[in-house]
Amino acid sequence: MRRFLSPRWLALHLLMVLAFGVCLFMSWWQLTRAQGGNALSWGYTFEWPVFGVFAVVFWARLIRDERRKISAEPQPEPERLTAPVLPGAPRPIRRTERQVPATTVEDDPELAAYNAYLAWQNANPHRSRRDYPG
């Protein structure tokens, strides 16, 4: 429980108390406005306490998650690389075999035309699309 008395947690506790207090104050303020004739303030009168409860629930979940993290078994550290990986150094490439679809370029004239366009574009990278002869 000492963990929850650290400066960070004390700040979180204070923030929760302030958030809840502000929400209650805003609810009271909207209630006085609603009693003065502002009909829209009736909705806010009941909305602000919901925001306050949300702050308390969020705070409680932070504490619950922190307690679970403390009580969980320590995870083994990941294995470290034995040799440093330098930028630009070649890395092994794993290739997987893929099955080629049964259709070929000859079966689909639209696909054949598109592949011809891509081949032309690859051969002429400096040229525009409008220069394509096909």
Q: Residue 122: is its pLDDT beyond 60?
A: yes
Q: Residue 72: is its pLDDT beyond 90?
A: no
Separation between Cα atoms, residue 41 and residue 62, nearest integer Å: 32
pLDDT in tens, 12-71: 999 999 999 999 999 999 999 999 988 889 999 999 999 999 999 999 999 888 888 766
Joined tokens for residue 102:
């049964």
Q: Residue 100: is its pLDDT beyond 80?
A: no
Q: Residue 106: is its pLDDT beyond 80?
A: no
DSSP string over 33-94: HHHTT-TTHHHHHHHHHHHHHHHHHHHHHHHHHHHHHHHSPPPPPPPPPSS---TT------
Q: Residue 1: is its pLDDT beyond 80?
A: no
Annotated domain spans of the chain: 2-71
What pLDDT sits at residue 21?
A: 96
Which residue type sits at 42? W
Separation between Cα atoms, residue 69 and residue 62, nearest integer Å: 11
- Cβ atoms of 44 and 30 closer than 8 Å: yes
Separation between Cα atoms, residue 25 and residue 89, nearest integer Å: 62
Q: What percent of the chain has pLDDT over 70?
A: 79
11 pLDDT band, cuts 50/70/90, is very high
